[in-house]
Amino acid sequence: MSKRHLRHGLSGLLLLILVGLLAWSVNRPAHAPAETPAEPQTGVETPAPADESAVEQIPLESLAELGDQPLARRSLDIQSWQTAEGAKVLFVQASELPMFDLRLTFAAGSSQDGDTPGLALLTNAMLNEGIEGKDVTAIAEGFEGLGADFGNGSYRDMAVASLRSLSEADKRNAALELFSQVVGHPTFPEGSLLRIKNQLMAGFELQKQNPGKLASLELFTQLYGDHPYGHPSEGTAESIPGISREQLQRFHARAYAAGNAVIALVGDLSREEAEAVAARVSSSLPTGSALAATPVPAAPEPGTHHIEFPSNQTHLLLAQLGIERDDPDYAALYLGNQILGGGGFGTRLMEEVREKRGLTYGIYSGFSPMRSNGPFMISLQTRAELAQGSLELVQRLVREFLADGPSQAEIERSKREIAGSFPLSTASNADIVGQLGSIGFYDLPLTYLEDFMQQVQEVTVEQVREAMNKHLQADGFVIVTAGPSVEQKELPPPSDQPIEQPSGVPEH
């Protein structure tokens, strides 16, 4: 197999994997929502500055020589400005390693698809498939030859394109030139478009064998209806075949405009160099302003929807409309959810449903705040004959939590855990550039990380209870189940000792 065919085969495999990840994964822990890749896994203390004078930089030829080394703990001095074309820039100088990370975030996710589901995803997937004088293989070899990495992705709110490169002037300039061409002037070749469409269509066939994916798609349909968040990010088997190259070009010209972009930049650059980088990238993008804000979704009708599927287990998804990313109650909701079901082992849902009764391998809850009201979701899978009892148990636990709120001991424990994880939110250039992209995209204050964690530490039991009741209703869930219709059995009684989980691999 030639290197070119190998690259195409690998890109196809990666795209199929991407298709399964673009919608919310039903078993993803709530502290890692898909729409906010840089969601703060934060604590209360701000890292101390590094001693940059103690760092001796050695000339490098490739990023592989660096790896993704964690940076020394230090405060983030976030600088911000706007380019001449209207792009918002957030920059953190990090001279510990001779490299830089650049991330462009556009309001160009599937919420901008309009009547053409999959348009945003296809546009993003095609960025690095061709530019003037280079095909997909030449582009990949160009980045590789410079020791640089290119990345891209599309979600409901946003689309991203990223570059990691050595900061030495000649390598930086060459990498930026190629990156600017890829993001600003893609040619959308017909051959690549057909190949990616075929990969997506194959992915749709695979979805039919995945009850969790089917349940997730149905959940968003029931939760959001005709709202822009309601259709699948990856499109549908009906919409994808008809999308044309001209539609991609028009969407790119509108959604990848400089005025619709946030440029996050972290690395071994001076302020002057960072301004030059941002100006170079911004000037290569189409001219245009920010797209309209996402509308507020209408409240859905609570109720249960079942998907018949021949399996041993049933997937259970419960959801309500949650909050926007800048909601002032977010800190209280985040803390409350960590206690309810977002913090893994030790949460109320995990303790009662898995540890005491052995009903599931894992159960998670979480808010996914977005530009408009993202979902609050609870997800689990359990043996088919115990599905109804498990659903009723989860609903009872949520009702009790809303009525009584967390205990003081639970609040204090969760605050300590969150505080302990704060350094992870800024542990590397990649972590920091993700945080900057999120802060800029959602128009959060530059001091957001420190502010958020201070708010978490100050939240009281009563504030958590009030916030949870303000945004959630015990009987307000849209519920989707996917599994077989079988005779239901009573749940086993709770045990004081952890119950050994059944053998085998959980279904996905």
Alpha carbon distance 330, 310 (integer Å) = 39
Amino acid letter, residue 369: P
Assess whether pLDDT exceeds 70 at residue 289.
Answer: yes
Out of 143-157, 253-267, 493-507, pick the least confident: 493-507
Question: Taking a C-beta distance cutoff of 8 angstroms, is the pair 423, 73 a contact?
Answer: yes
Which are the contacts of 454, defined by CB distance < 8 A and separation ≥ 6?
44
- Average of pLDDT values for 245-260? 98
* Residue 469 to residues 180, 213, 333, 373, 464, Cα–Cα distance (Å): 47, 29, 10, 16, 9
Domains, the chain, in order of start with CATH, read 40-50+69-284 (3.30.830.10), 303-483 (3.30.830.10)
Chain mean position to CA 246 = 28
What global pTM score does this model have? 0.84
DSSP run (H or E) holding 164: strand 159-166
Q: Which of 179, 202, 188, 153 is nearest to 16 (CA)?
A: 202
Query: 379: exposed, middle or buried (C-beta count within 10 Å: 0-12, 13-18, 19+)?
Result: buried
Of the pLDDT bands very low, low, confident and very high (cuts 50, 70, 90), residue 496 is confident
Out of 59-68, 115-124, 135-144, pick the least confident: 59-68
- Average of pLDDT values for 210-218? 97
Question: Taking a C-beta distance cutoff of 8 angstroms, is the pair 105, 162 a contact?
Answer: no
Looking at the chain, the whole-number percentage of residues with pLDDT higher than 90 is 78
Question: Taking a C-beta distance cutoff of 8 angstroms, is the pair 87, 282 a contact?
Answer: yes
Of the pLDDT bands very low, low, confident and very high (cuts 50, 70, 90), residue 48 is very low
Question: What does the DSSP 8-state code read for residue 318?
Answer: E
Question: Taking a C-beta distance cutoff of 8 angstroms, is the pair 285, 250 a contact?
Answer: no
pLDDT at 350: 97
Of the pLDDT bands very low, low, confident and very high (cuts 50, 70, 90), residue 501 is low
Look-up of token digits 């949460």: 347
Query: First and final CA of the chain: distance in angstroms?
Result: 32
DSSP run (H or E) holding 430: helix 429-441
Comparing 57 with 315, the larger pLDDT belongs to 315
pLDDT at 161: 98
φ/ψ (deg, to 5) at 444: -90, 155
Assess whether pLDDT exceeds 70 at residue 46.
Answer: no
pLDDT at 497: 64
pLDDT at 344: 83
Q: Which two tokens stand for residue 254?
A: 């509108």
Of the pLDDT bands very low, low, confident and very high (cuts 50, 70, 90), residue 187 is very high
Out of 57-61, 299-303, 388-392, 432-436, pick the least confident: 57-61
Look-up of token digits 């600003």: 184
- Torsion, CA 458, CA 462, CA 468, CA 471, rounded to 10: -90
β-strand 261-267 against 99-106: which pairing, if any? antiparallel
Largest CA distance in the chain: 70
Alpha carbon distance 33, 173 (integer Å) = 34
DSSP assignments along 343-403, one per residue: SSTTSHHIIIIIITT---S--EEEE--BSS-PEEEEEEEEEGGGHHHHHHHHHHHHHHHHH
